């Protein structure tokens, strides 16, 4: 869990900073109640450290991937004037 709290404080490599519920709060909520930006952020973060995750962390990552797949993925499809093709989780 230390790695998860570390991820939450440093953002995604100095890019966009995540502003939202932390992993402690989200673990109390079913994955189908997570917002899309929360799924996107923690998917990206956990994916970056996947080789270092213990069994619990890998299980959480798999649940996030399953929820994303259930929702049909994260892609926006086409860009428009109001949004790009990449989901922003800041």
Q: State the Cα–Cα distance between residues 55 and 23, nearest whole angstrom.
A: 16
Q: How much is the pTM? A: 0.68
**What are the distances in angstroms from CA 56 to CA 48, 65, 74, 89?**
16, 14, 24, 24
Q: State the Cα–Cα distance between residues 38 and 20, nearest whole angstrom.
A: 7
Q: State the Cα–Cα distance between residues 22 and 25, nearest whole angstrom.
A: 6
Predicted local distance difference test score (pLDDT) of residue 74: 80
Taking the domains of the chain in order of start, what are their residue ranges?
Answer: 30-72
The token duo for 43 is: 């998917």
Residue 13 reports pLDDT greater than 60 = no
Lowest mean pLDDT among 10-14, 20-24, 55-59: 10-14
Predicted local distance difference test score (pLDDT) of residue 85: 62
Largest CA distance in the chain: 42
Mean pLDDT score, 50-68: 96
More confident residue, 90 or 35: 35
Q: State the Cα–Cα distance between residues 56 and 27, nearest whole angstrom.
A: 12
pLDDT category, 76, cuts 50, 70, 90?
low
Render pLDDT for 27-52 as a digit per residue (tens, 0 to 9).
999 999 999 999 999 999 999 999 99
């Amino acid at each position: 869990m230390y790695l998860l709290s570390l991820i939450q404080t440093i953002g995604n490599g100095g890019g966009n900073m995540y502003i939202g519920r932390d992993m402690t709060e989200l673990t109390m909520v079913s994955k189908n109640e997570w917002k899309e930006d929360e799924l996107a952020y923690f998917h990206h973060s956990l994916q970056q450290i996947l080789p270092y995750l213990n069994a619990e962390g890998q299980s959480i990552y798999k649940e996030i991937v399953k929820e994303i797949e259930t929702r049909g993925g994260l892609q926006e499809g086409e860009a428009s004037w109001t949004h790009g093709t990449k989901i922003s989780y800041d």
